[in-house]
């Protein structure tokens, strides 16, 4: 009776670890050296096992970073109504946001035009990270007219939600006026936040959201990780 190849035994062990939640979506597996030491084999055997998992779509390698558990892409609809937490929850995942920076500065020409301001008018800027089951799926920058919403930054810090912050400032609802999608390559900073290699594909979304009277309330730029999210266009 022939013995099961060692690499298959290692692959089966790692598959079980992933299935039982010892390694979750986005987690980095032990290094080849660590796995070699754990199983008492050479690195070539470990590489064969990892290649098997990669072929099954369970893991993917990032040059210079290691081997990571492959996450199922998050379905994210882009429709008329902008509701991040609702969209992520509908995909069966736990939504999350991380504030990277809250600042006030002069609007650039693109921001001023989108928000109906003069170049140089003050805007509040919210830089953040969007998460699904703890995995970063997008970095974003939301820009708000400071003159209309002087307390926006405090409201964002208190609620960590654009929807709730705007509601607290007298905007009961807002919708998407327009959105442009463009393929890009991740910058070094974006790659760091999204846990992808520098230059990896990202989808850039640029858009304006308006209040029920059609007045601009938010100009947003979002960079979605290409392998972490699937964008769908709809009317929601």
The per-residue pLDDT for range 74-123, each reduced to its tens digit, is: 766 666 666 666 766 666 777 888 999 999 999 999 999 999 999 999 99
Given pLDDT bands bounded at 50, 70 and 90, which one contains residue 60? confident
How many CA within 13 A on the CB side of residue 186? 24
Sign of CA pseudo-dihedral 165, 172, 86, 183: negative
CA distances from 2 to 5, 33, 128, 212, 216 (A): 9, 28, 55, 71, 70
Lowest mean pLDDT among 4-13, 58-67, 111-120, 211-220: 58-67
Q: Is-contact 194 186, C-beta < 8 A?
A: yes
H helices, E strands: number in the chain:
8, 10
Lowest mean pLDDT among 20-29, 33-42, 203-212: 20-29
Tell which residue, 231, 163, 170, 174, has the closest CA to residue 203.
231
Confidence of residue 199 (pLDDT cuts 50, 70, 90): confident
Q: What's the CA gap between 25 and 63, in Å, rounded?
A: 18
The DSSP call for residue 196 is: S
Q: How far apart are CA 72 and CA 227, in angstroms?
A: 9
- The residues that bridge with 233 in the sheet, in sequence order, are 78
Q: Which two tokens stand for residue 112?
A: 């001023």
Indicate the pLDDT class of residue 70, thresholds 50, 70 and 90: confident
Q: What is the pTM of this model?
A: 0.69
User: How many other CB atoms sit within 10 Å of the CB of residue 143?
Assistant: 25
What are the tens digits of pLDDT across the range 138-190? Answer: 999 999 999 999 999 999 999 989 999 999 999 999 999 998 989 999 999 99
H or E segment to which residue 188 belongs: helix 188-194
What is the arithmetic mean of pLDDT over 42-50? 93
């Amino acid at each position: 009776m022939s013995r099961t190849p060692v690499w298959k035994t290692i692959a089966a062990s790692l598959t079980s670890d992933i299935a039982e939640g010892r390694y979750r979506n986005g987690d980095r597996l032990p290094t080849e050296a660590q796995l070699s030491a754990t199983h008492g084999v050479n690195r070539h055997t470990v590489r064969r096992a990892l290649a098997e998992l990669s072929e099954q779509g369970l893991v993917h390698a990032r040059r210079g970073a290691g081997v990571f558990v492959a996450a199922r892409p998050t379905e994210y609809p882009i429709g008329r109504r902008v509701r991040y937490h609702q969209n992520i929850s509908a995909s069966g995942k736990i939504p999350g946001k991380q504030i990277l920076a809250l600042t006030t500065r002069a609007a650039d020409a693109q921001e001023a035009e989108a928000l109906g301001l003069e170049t140089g008018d003050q805007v509040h800027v919210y830089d953040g990270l969007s998460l699904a089951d703890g995995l970063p799926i997008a970095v974003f920058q939301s820009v708000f007219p400071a003159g209309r919403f002087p307390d926006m930054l405090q409201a964002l810090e208190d609620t960590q939600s654009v929807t709730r912050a705007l509601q607290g400032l007298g905007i009961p609802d807002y919708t998407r006026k327009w959105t442009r999608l463009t393929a890009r390559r991740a910058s070094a900073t974006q790659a760091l936040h999204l846990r992808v290699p520098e230059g990896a594909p990202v989808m850039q979304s640029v858009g304006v959201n308006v209040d029920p009277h059609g007045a601009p309330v938010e100009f947003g730029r979002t960079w979605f990780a290409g392998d972490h999210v699937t964008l769908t266009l709809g009317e929601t």
